[in-house]
Chains A and B, each alone.
Chain A
């Protein structure tokens, strides 16, 4: 890529920041804070924001882990038994349609203030892409490759281990990529209701700052949430590259 090509997104970024600052200057401070203000707020509240990012990030990761496990197990079950699939699939679908923000207050009552509400919230939101990835992936086996294994008398367990699971990895990891960003959203939504600030979480900071018309701080927490989501996304990409990068993906030969 030539230098002008590399600079293109940077130029767009600078232009956007400029427009944002301009808009913020024109509007009353309680409606919008510009990038300079938000940057200042981030610097001023860095320790709190870092702690909050840690809290929310941990919840997102834990939720992602739970969702991955559940998605894989259920996906494997659905592949192994059509009956189980027909019986349980509608309920798996239901999990995706549950509006997390509506059940979060209930979660607080069941699970108490703390980290669990955000974790469960993140898990609920991440579950379906992972189930789909596992479900589609385990079914996406090449029929010739399967015939090959059957020819040599491979048991169902051998088929799973030697063929189905490795073949499913690209789909599962694609689901993980989607779920990664979602898990942060889920954790922040869980924070809104399930966090009382001790320890601080990103959702808590967003809400509380907004209530005091401290828009700059609220935005700052939002920016940190976005960075967290990007970080998780990057993590899933790294995982992909590490596990299947050698044999899967774009390749110009």
Chain B
């Protein structure tokens, strides 16, 4: 299966106790195979967009297209690593396979591949509490990749990490999802990070949520960390900041 687009068409969504809707006639198209970052102020509802795309929340009106419903074709990386503390890293990574295809003969190989992609092969038999924050996030990503998803949804995956760890983990993620060739939708409040990682940065805000700015990042992949200091990147960041 090839990477699908994600489309929000006239989507309406309210939280049960809210007076005004969070989303009202919201439109957004995420292009297939691209890495799209959604940025915006904290609490504006960016994570909600992601949950709607994942099918974890129901829209009250409108239409959401987000790839197939086939279990495993969509993967989600939470803000917290969300690893099951009683399972080893390898077993955590294999959890989606245990649910969707319990008797899969290539389970071990798939887990090993996923771990290799995030450079966690040595930690396979460790328990989550024995890993650092960065390693746990990498394990969480490996778990997301193990079913070879065509759509990858990430909710502020690096916000809990310290600066140095964040940079290293970003590198790992970027390599991994490029390799996977999936459509990637990542939500973040860090504009530098968004511009560094994504092909397109969509800035949202307001009540109800609307798209404030839509920016294409013309920088080529792979993006080296040194780009952080590149003035071209700085200019792009400023564009987005001006809007928010």
Question: Which residues of A are at the interface with B, using a C-beta cutoff of 8 A?
Answer: 142, 144-145, 147-154, 158, 162-163, 166-167, 169, 244, 246-248, 251, 253
B100/A153 in contact, CB under 8 A: yes
B127/A154 in contact, CB under 8 A: no
- Knowing A151-B55, A151-B74, A153-B71, say if A162 contacts B129 (CB, 8 Å): no
Confirm or deny: B214 has a beta carbon within 8 angstroms of a beta carbon on chain A: no
Which of B56, B71, B82, B147 is A145 in contact with, Cβ under 8 Å?
Answer: B82
Given A145-B82, A166-B86, 20 extra CB contacts under 8 A: A144-B78, A144-B80, A145-B84, A147-B56, A148-B76, A151-B54, A151-B74, A152-B71, A152-B72, A152-B96, A152-B100, A152-B147, A153-B99, A153-B100, A158-B99, A162-B99, A167-B84, A169-B86, A247-B86, A247-B127
Give every chain B residue within 8 A of A149 (Cβ-Cβ): 99
A163/B84 in contact, CB under 8 A: yes
Give every chain B residue within 8 A of A244 (Cβ-Cβ): 86
Report Cα–Cα, A248/B87, bound state, in Å.
12
A247/B85 in contact, CB under 8 A: yes
Q: In chain B, residues 228-244, which have Cβ atoms closer than 8 Å to a Cβ of chain A?
A: none
Give every chain B residue within 8 A of A163 (Cβ-Cβ): 84
Q: How many residues of B contact A (CB 8 A)?
A: 24
Query: Can you give 23 A-B contacts (C-beta < 8 A)?
Result: A144-B78, A144-B80, A147-B51, A147-B76, A148-B76, A148-B82, A150-B56, A151-B55, A151-B56, A151-B76, A153-B71, A153-B100, A158-B99, A162-B95, A162-B98, A163-B84, A166-B86, A167-B84, A246-B127, A247-B86, A247-B128, A248-B86, A251-B129
Chain B 74-109: CB-based contact to A (< 8 A → 1; otherwise 0): 111010101011100000000110111000000000
For B55, the closest partner residue in chain A by CB is A151
**Would you give the shortest CB distance from B52 to chain A, in whole angstroms?**
13
**Would you give the shortest CB distance from B150 to chain A, in whole angstroms?**
14
Give every chain B residue within 8 A of A152 (Cβ-Cβ): 71-72, 95-96, 99-100, 147
**Would you give the shortest CB distance from B80 to chain A, in whole angstroms?**
6
Report Cα–Cα, A253/B136, bound state, in Å.
15
Report Cα–Cα, A147/B78, bound state, in Å.
10
**Would you give the shortest CB distance from B205 to chain A, in whole angstroms?**
25
Give every chain A residue within 8 A of B76 (Cβ-Cβ): 147-148, 151
Report Cα–Cα, A246/B128, bound state, in Å.
10
Q: In chain B, residues 18-32, which have Cβ atoms closer than 8 Å to a Cβ of chain A?
A: none
Report Cα–Cα, A158/B96, bound state, in Å.
11
Chain B 22-55: CB-based contact to A (< 8 A → 1; otherwise 0): 0000000000000000000000000000010011
Chain B 123-136: CB-based contact to A (< 8 A → 1; otherwise 0): 00001110000000
Give every chain A residue within 8 A of B56 (Cβ-Cβ): 147, 150-151
Report Cα–Cα, A244/B87, bound state, in Å.
11
For A247, the closest partner residue in chain B by CB is B85
Give every chain A residue within 8 A of B147 (Cβ-Cβ): 152
Report Cα–Cα, A164/B189, bound state, in Å.
32
Give every chain A residue within 8 A of B54 (Cβ-Cβ): 151
For B81, the closest partner residue in chain A by CB is A144
For B79, the closest partner residue in chain A by CB is A144
Report Cα–Cα, A12/B95, bound state, in Å.
52
Report Cα–Cα, A158/B129, bound state, in Å.
24
Report Cα–Cα, A167/B128, bound state, in Å.
14
A-B pairs, top 9 by smallest CB distance, nearest first, are A153-B71, A152-B99, A247-B85, A154-B99, A144-B82, A166-B86, A152-B96, A247-B86, A152-B71
**Would you give the shortest CB distance from B47 to chain A, in whole angstroms?**
11
**Would you give the shortest CB distance from A107 to chain B, in whole angstroms?**
40
Report Cα–Cα, A244/B55, bound state, in Å.
33
Give every chain A residue within 8 A of B127 (Cβ-Cβ): 246-247
Report Cα–Cα, A251/B80, bound state, in Å.
20
Report Cα–Cα, A163/B98, bound state, in Å.
12
Report Cα–Cα, A247/B157, bound state, in Å.
23
Give every chain B residue within 8 A of A158 (Cβ-Cβ): 99
- Knowing A153-B71, A247-B127, say if A142 contacts B82 (CB, 8 Å): yes
Report Cα–Cα, A240/B1, bound state, in Å.
46
Report Cα–Cα, A152/B71, bound state, in Å.
5
Give every chain B residue within 8 A of A246 (Cβ-Cβ): 86, 127
